[in-house]
Amino acid sequence: MLFYNRKLKRLVAVELKQGSFRPEYKGQMELYLRWLAKYESEDAEGQPLGIILCAGASTRQIELLELDAAGIHVAEYLTVLPPQDVLERKLQDAISAARLRFETKPVTDTL
């Protein structure tokens, strides 16, 4: 899938993979990103960003491949919902983190 992020001013390529992350996914995404940079990006845009979503992800393998340096990010997605208590806890954690970010965000004077 291909998206455009207006705030980042860059194309974002997203790939969904059913299994665990495999090293060849990096090369495939790098090819997509180079093609996008050469043929689709406008002059004022940043380098395209790649996101690979896998059903399983090995943090150690991702760190060794230095994907962040290549503008590629890997995340895990769920194929089965966790128990309700886990979802509720994660939701509360996300709400707490958002409140903390909001409370510590500097206020800018617009007058």
Rounded CA separation 52/104 (Å): 31
Helices (H) and strands (E) in the chain, counts: 3, 4
Residues 6+ apart with CB under 8 A from 40: 11, 48
pLDDT tens digits for range 66-92: 566 666 777 666 667 678 888 788 878
> What is the distance between the alpha carbons of residues 30 and 88, in angstroms, rounded to a whole number?
37
Quick one: pLDDT band at residue 95, thresholds 50, 70, 90? confident
Q: Indicate if the pLDDT at residue 105 is higher than 70.
A: no
Residue 64: per-residue pLDDT: 47
Task: Report which of residues 109 and 100 the model is more confident about.
Answer: 100
In the chain, the percentage of residues whose pLDDT exceeds 90 is 18
